[in-house]
């Protein structure tokens, strides 16, 4: 049996081969096409049980199978798997484009809304139907026939270009390596990073040390290595990935212009002014103007703090390190030196207190305390020996399971993310529990020692865990709005950013730190230094995110490729407006901005800051009532996590907080208010 067609339980990762993809997807597409035709041809008035349920059951199988293919292509990419993925991506894209324009299906939804059954449906079911009706319009269902044809072509081309963008970035990252013969050239590099570089060289059959552009290799060099020339070399390689400075076949520059042009054409076909307007049609924000105003208001508050941060780094570089002109490849290094001098600790020192098993145990204890859930190791087939599997129980009942894949490796997409493998669904005779993927790119264990995480990596883990909990702790059993499904994109970061706050609490850290050699918990004096340094350069980090957000919104609202200005021109204008750190001219950040060109954040990157207002304000409820308060935790679960996309995110926030969101907590958490 084809493992991609087995829906009796968890994915069969030990059995899935690239050769399974084509026949499985072809069969599921044919089955769903036949199902749609059957439902559309049925003369009876559509009902929830007779129309919605069977349609969603068919679509769920297709979604689950493709999710496995998509996931494998991200975490264990190979030429054969990539070929199978790229061969089937156009089929998947065309199927959903056809579905969104199927007037017969559209008519069924409209008939259901105007039927007597509408009054008997609950609010969740009504929201699903309303969301579908909206998506039919956004999918081109009301377009003239000739425009429908063009719209479908655009959808397919955009899907292919986005996939190609991600492939170029992955290949450019994996292709680079730099071998260093002598340890003295890596002076300052932490011992574990040095050992990892030596081990990487040995794998290639070489002596010395191997450096790559994978974050666990790249970042320690930029942060600790005294060798300024080496930092410059690696920096140049990193910021020019997938650009005209490398192989032409991996250059993302033409893809960016094509993607933007096609998105603009798509918006025009739908009757919108810009693609940003299309993007915001399904989000909390009402217009590009409102988003720009929101971002610029934050910038006006944050930029003075950012400028102060930047002035301090430059002064320290000049006075203490003899660096008269601070270059981009110096910033992380000098910043780390300044932090060590000011707060008398380093990231490397803190890292020794965060071995992986202790961190995971601390995370699980936190969730047990505030939500009353239990997390245990579980059994499942995985795609790689490093991937683990867990189950979440509440009062002895299984509520969800998740895969955890923490380490960076060749063939794995960079960054960190959460995705859904299986959604919670009412199967009539039982409730199908949800399953999620949590993926990071941290340093792997070396020898007999466990992996050690920086505090930033711990924060990343908690962030992705927040996304996972949003999917796994849902109470909604209708798949289109269960878990993360159906949640407005600019609210989907609320649970993830909310979780980050716990990484700064003593009552949490004291339960999730043990020195890798001595076993002692994080000393209170070191914790106090971490807290004192918590907002170190927060102004610079804050405006950097605003820079990305404004750039994203501007290139998707009014910018036309090939009209005399480039995306780099737009980025430079944004930097002049909000940034304090201006990278060198050769920096090609857009060519690696996969969030908006190969992910779901196009004209939506602002969502991180938008949701951060919500998450900071939500966390303030814990600060006001006790950060480990199980009563507040249960309320957060039931009003935010449990409801998924079954109601508007603002309604969920107000149900939890009792009022509209306020910006004060965000500014305070970032040290940019008088209260801070």
Q: Euclidean distance between the first and final Cα of the chain, in Å?
A: 61
Residue 439: what are its φ and ψ, rounded to 5°?
Answer: -125, 130
Residue 253: pLDDT over 50: yes
Compute the C-alpha angle 380/383/385, nearest 5°.
85
Is residue 189 domain-resident? yes
SS3 call for 392: strand
Number of structural domains (the chain) is: 3
509 shares its domain with 396 = yes
Which neighbouring-strand residues pair with 256? none
Which neighbouring-strand residues pair with 377? 390
Q: Which of 138, 154, 186 is the last residue of a domain?
A: 138
CATH number of the domain residue 453 falls in: 1.10.1370.40
376 shares its domain with 474 = yes
Strands 431-432 and 425-426: antiparallel
DSSP 487-522: --TTTTTHHHHHHHGGGG-HHHHTTS---TTT-PPP
Is the Cα dihedral 48, 53, 55, 59 positive or negative? positive
What mean pLDDT is reported for the chain? 96
189 shares its domain with 131 = no
Domain that holds residue 22: 3-100+102-138
Residue 676 pLDDT = 38
Residue 221 pLDDT = 98
Residues 106-124: what's their mean pLDDT? 97
Kindly compute the dihedral angle of the four CA atoms of residues 68, 364, 607, 399, in this order, to the nearest 10 degrees: 50
Are 248 and 214 in contact by the 8 Å Cβ rule? The answer is no
If phi > 0 it is left, if psi is from -120 to 50 it is alpha, else beta; for residue 558 that is left
List Cα–Cα distances, 377 to 360, 389, 418, 508, in angstroms: 11, 6, 19, 21
DSSP annotation of 486: T
Is residue 425 domain-resident? yes
Residues 148-166: what's their mean pLDDT? 97
Residue 390: what are its φ and ψ, rounded to 5°?
Answer: -135, 160
If phi > 0 it is left, if psi is from -120 to 50 it is alpha, else beta; for residue 451 that is beta
Q: How many CB atoms lie within 10 A of CB 651?
A: 12
Is residue 87 domain-resident? yes
61 shares its domain with 184 = no
Strands 397-407 and 388-394: antiparallel
Is residue 226 domain-resident? yes
Residue 526: pLDDT over 90: yes
Is residue 298 domain-resident? no
Residues 361-367: what's their mean pLDDT? 98
The rounded distance, in Å, linking the Cα atoms of 191 and 150 is: 57
Please name the helix (run of DSSP H) or strand (run of DSSP E) that holds residue 526, with its range, or none: helix 524-532
72 shares its domain with 220 = no
Between residues 475 and 560, which one has the greater pLDDT?
Answer: 475
pLDDT tens digits, 22-76: 999 999 999 999 999 999 999 999 999 999 999 999 999 999 999 999 999 999 9
Q: Among 457, 392, 381, 459, which residue's Cα sits nearest to residue 424?
A: 392
CA atoms within 13 A on the CB side of 515: 10
- Print the SS3 string covering 75-110: HCCCHHHHHHHHHHHHHHHHHHHHHHCCHHHHHHHH
pLDDT tens digits, 127-143: 999 999 999 999 999 99
| Six token digits for residue 17 | 């081969």
414 shares its domain with 521 = yes
16 shares its domain with 114 = yes
Q: How many CB atoms lie within 10 A of CB 591?
A: 28
List Cα–Cα distances, 504 to 263, 455, 475, 536, 669, in angstroms: 41, 9, 29, 14, 11
Q: How many CB atoms lie within 10 A of CB 442?
A: 19
362 shares its domain with 467 = yes
Is residue 386 domain-resident? yes
CATH number of the domain residue 116 falls in: 1.20.1050.40
Residue 561: pLDDT over 90: no
Residue 674 pLDDT = 54
90 shares its domain with 197 = no
Order of strands, sheet of 373-377, starting from the edge strand that comes earlier in the sequence: 373-377, 388-394, 397-407, 435-442, 417-422
> What are the residue numbers of the active site?
464
Residue 376: what are its φ and ψ, rounded to 5°?
Answer: -130, 150
User: Which residues, in sequence order, are CB contacts of 395 under 8 Å at separation 6+?
Assistant: 372
Q: How many CB atoms lie within 10 A of CB 569?
A: 11
Residue 675 pLDDT = 40
Compute the C-alpha angle 437/647/281, nearest 5°.
85
| Six token digits for residue 552 | 């994203």
Q: What percent of the chain has pLDDT over 70?
A: 100
Residue 576 pLDDT = 96
Residues 566-579: what's their mean pLDDT? 97
31 shares its domain with 83 = yes
Please name the helix (run of DSSP H) or strand (run of DSSP E) that holds residue 170, with its range, or none: helix 145-175
112 shares its domain with 218 = no
Maximum Cα–Cα distance across the chain: 82
Residue 644: pLDDT over 60: yes
Is residue 374 domain-resident? yes
389 shares its domain with 518 = yes
Please name the helix (run of DSSP H) or strand (run of DSSP E) that holds residue 410, with its range, or none: none
Residue 604 pLDDT = 97
Is residue 660 domain-resident? no
pLDDT tens digits, 293-332: 999 999 999 999 999 999 999 999 999 999 999 999 999 9
Kindly compute the dihedral angle of the four CA atoms of residues 145, 149, 150, 153, in this order, to the nearest 10 degrees: 160
């Amino acid at each position: 049996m084809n493992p991609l067609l087995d829906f009796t339980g968890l994915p069969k990762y030990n059995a899935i081969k690239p050769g399974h993809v084509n026949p499985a997807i072809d069969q599921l597409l044919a089955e769903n096409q036949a199902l749609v035709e059957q439902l559309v041809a049925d003369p009876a008035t559509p009902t929830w049980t007779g129309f919605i349920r069977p349609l969603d059951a068919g679509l769920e199988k297709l979604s689950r199978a493709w999710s496995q293919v998509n996931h494998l292509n991200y975490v264990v990419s190979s030429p054969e798997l990539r070929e199978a993925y790229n061969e089937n991506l156009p089929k998947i894209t065309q199927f959903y484009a056809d579905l969104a324009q199927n007037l017969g299906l559209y008519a069924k939804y409209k008939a259901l809304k105007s039927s007597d059954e509408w009054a008997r449906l609950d609010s969740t079911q009504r929201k699903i139907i309303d969301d579908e009706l909206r998506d039919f319009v956004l999918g081109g269902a009301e377009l003239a026939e000739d425009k429908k044809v063009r719209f479908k072509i655009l959808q397919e081309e955009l899907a292919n270009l986005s996939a190609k963008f991600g492939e170029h970035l992955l290949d450019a990252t994996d292709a680079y390596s730099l071998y260093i013969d002598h340890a003295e050239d890596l002076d300052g590099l932490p011992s574990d990073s040095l050992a990892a570089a030596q081990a990487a060289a040995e794998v290639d059959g070489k002596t010395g040390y191997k450096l790559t552009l994978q974050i666990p290799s790249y970042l320690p060099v930029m942060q600790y290595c005294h060798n300024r020339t080496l930092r410059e070399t690696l920096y140049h390689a990193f910021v020019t990935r997938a650009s005209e400075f490398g192989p032409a076949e991996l250059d993302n520059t033409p893809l960016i212009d094509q993607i933007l042009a096609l998105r603009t054409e798509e918006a025009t076909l739908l009757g919108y002014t810009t693609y940003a307007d299309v993007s915001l049609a399904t989000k909390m924000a009402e217009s590009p103007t409102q988003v720009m105003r929101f971002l610029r208001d934050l910038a006006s508050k944050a930029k003075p703090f950012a400028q102060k941060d930047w002035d301090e780094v430059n002064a320290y570089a000049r006075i203490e390190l003899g660096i008269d002109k601070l270059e981009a490849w110096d910033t992380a290094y000098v910043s780390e030196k300044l932090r060590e001098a000011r707060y008398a600790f380093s990231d490397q020192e803190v890292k020794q207190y965060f071995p992986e098993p202790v961190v995971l145990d601390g995370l699980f204890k936190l969730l047990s305390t505030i939500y009353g859930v239990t997390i245990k190791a579980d059994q499942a087939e995985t795609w790689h020996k490093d991937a683990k599997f867990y189950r979440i129980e509440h009062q002895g009942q299984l509520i969800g399971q998740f895969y955890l894949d923490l380490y960076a490796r060749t063939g794995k997409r960079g960054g960190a993310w959460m995705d859904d493998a299986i959604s919670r669904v009412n199967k009539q005779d039982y409730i199908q529990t949800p399953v999620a993927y949590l993926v990071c790119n941290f340093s792997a264990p070396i020898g007999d020692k466990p992996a050690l995480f920086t505090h930033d990596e711990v924060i990343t883990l908690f962030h992705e865990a927040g996304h996972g909990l949003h999917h796994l702790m849902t109470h909604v059993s209708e798949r289109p709005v269960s878990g993360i499904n159906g949640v407005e994109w600019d609210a989907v970061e609320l649970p993830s950013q909310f979780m980050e706050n716990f990484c700064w609490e003593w009552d949490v850290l004291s339960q999730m730190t043990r020195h890798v050699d001595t076993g002692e918990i994080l000393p209170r004096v070191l914790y106090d230094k971490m807290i004192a340094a918590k907002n170190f350069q927060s102004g610079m980090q804050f405006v950097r995110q605003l820079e990305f957000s404004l750039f994203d919104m501007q290139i998707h609202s009014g910018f036309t490729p090939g009209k005399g200005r480039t995306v780099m021109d737009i980025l430079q204008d944004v930097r002049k407006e909000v940034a304090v750190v201006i990278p060198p001219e050769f920096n090609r950040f857009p060519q690696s901005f996969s969030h908006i060109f190969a992910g779901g954040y196009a004209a939506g990157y602002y969502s991180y800051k938008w949701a951060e207002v919500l998450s900071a304000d939500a966390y303030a409820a814990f600060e006001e009532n006790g950060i480990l308060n199980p009563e507040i935790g249960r309320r957060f679960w039931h009003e935010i996590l449990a409801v998924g996309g079954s109601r508007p995110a603002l309604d969920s926030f107000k149900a939890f907080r009792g009022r509209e969101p306020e910006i004060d907590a965000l500014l305070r958490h970032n040290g940019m208010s008088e209260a801070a």
